[in-house]
Amino acid sequence: MKRIVVALGGNAILTDDPTAQGQAKALETTAKQLISFIKQGYQVVITHGNGPQVGNLLLQQEDGASDQNPAMPLDTVGSMTQGEIGLWLANALNMELIRAGLDKKRVATIMTRTLVDKDDPAFNNPSKPIGPFYTTQEAEKIKSKNPTWTLVEDSGRGYRRVVASPRPIDVLESREIAHLVDQDTILVAGGGGGVPVIEVDGFYVGSEAVIDKDFTSEKIAELIHADALIILTAVDHVAINFGQDNQQELGYITVSELKQHILENQFAKGSMLPKVLAGIDFVENTGNEAIITGLNNINNLIAHNSGTHIVSDSKNEKD
């Protein structure tokens, strides 16, 4: 039975309705797509982002914070959003399983901690955007209320808060994840890249950071010996010369070819580059393929092998 890790992009959750009901409804649509993997008999671990949810929850806490009701630190907020998104997604998957006549299948959500190096240079260079966009005036007001926050302009779309984004070196619950998958449980794990923890005097301590979910997805896929890492995003293919007249969509591509495109600065740092780097890491560490494609392309992916497939240099053509 083929084992896959499926990393959901932000478009799987984002909606014009930011309420809990609106986001849960968006995940019902996502679950309809994901159920195709289950019907094909795959063992599935689903990971997801949580940037907007973390940012919004932090704002809610700051607005209502007091000595009697203090705001929670970022690692705790990360675990809170793991829980809420895990709840919505598990409920949506259960609904679709029942509709598909697969109601015997089990779904579980596991709170996941991701170990990072306390000396990772990322802690000195916050770069991971979380939360909504702000105008210049809104950013100035928020900065005055939250002097420890770092706000940066993001691609001409406004200002966002950025936090440290260290690379994962281990996933503490990886053995539990593998055990549940062995039992054919459909698992939601690694939400938001996992709750970042560092090791201090032999103990694990939460850290004020957000880990890129694509890198944590790769680490989970590697540790549980997944046959493939599938990163779902807003486009059906990775492309070079993106948005230009000579844009070229990539199908099967080797690690070496992809690294050359990285050297040519073909991929945006805040969007496609982390996905490409995570895909390369998985292929290099396991020899198995990584696939980057769109959420709505799942059926085509299963039937026709569409999307961008990253393969090792020894597999320079489709098997």
| From 9, 49, 86, 128, active-site residue | 128
Catalytic residue check, 10: yes
| From 78, 131, 275, 297, active-site residue | 275
Catalytic residue check, 104: no
Beta strands 159-163 and 186-188: pairing type? unpaired
Say which residue the tokens 């503490």 belong to: 172
Catalytic residue check, 128: yes
DSSP 313: T
Q: In this structure, what are the phi and psi dihedrals at residue 290, rounded to the nearest 5 degrees? A: -115, 145
| From 131, 190, 213, 219, active-site residue | 213
| From 11, 56, 94, 300, active-site residue | 11
DSSP 231: E
DSSP states of 10-31: GGGT--S--SHHHHHHHHHHHH
Catalytic residue check, 213: yes
DSSP states of 99-129: HTT-TTS-EEE---EEEE-TT-GGGGS--EE
| From 10, 158, 206, 270, active-site residue | 10
First-last CA distance in the chain: 18
Distances (CA, A) of 134 to 129, 137, 146, 155, 157: 12, 8, 14, 12, 8
Between CA 310 and CA 306 the distance in angstroms is 12
Strands, DSSP E only, in the chain? 3-8, 43-48, 107-109, 113-116, 128-134, 150-153, 159-163, 168-171, 186-188, 195-200, 203-206, 228-233, 239-240, 248-249, 252-254, 289-294, 308-311
Geometric angle at alpha carbon 248, from 242 and 252, rounded to 5° = 120
Q: Determine the distance from the C-alpha atom of residue 122 to the mean position of all C-alpha atoms in its chain, rounded to a whole number.
A: 18
Catalytic residues: 10-11, 128, 213, 275
